[in-house]
Amino acid sequence: MLIINPAFGLDHGGGEQRAREAIDWQQDPIALFSNAKPNARELLEGVRDRLSSFRRIDNIDYVAKDSVSQPAPPALLEHVAQNYRAALMAIAD
């Protein structure tokens, strides 16, 4: 997964190749990424439940940062980048 911090741009160390491959929304692992705002978990779990009508959901996981007022720690972003091909974000109330 290619995660870009727009403040820093792209790292051209060669890690982008897998990110450029098409995502298979029927099978690839997906992170449901919450910014920890109210109702984000419920929203994302609803999305996962809807996805179950056309794909398996055992590789769709809920991931959340600890606090709405703090950025996601680098270790959490790295975990998502290493383990999932896509992330659906809940960023609003």
Q: Tell me the torsion sign for CA atoms 22, 25, 28, 29.
A: positive
* CA 57 to chain centroid: 14
pLDDT in tens, 9-37: 455 555 555 556 778 889 999 999 998 88
pLDDT in tens, 68-80: 888 889 999 999 9
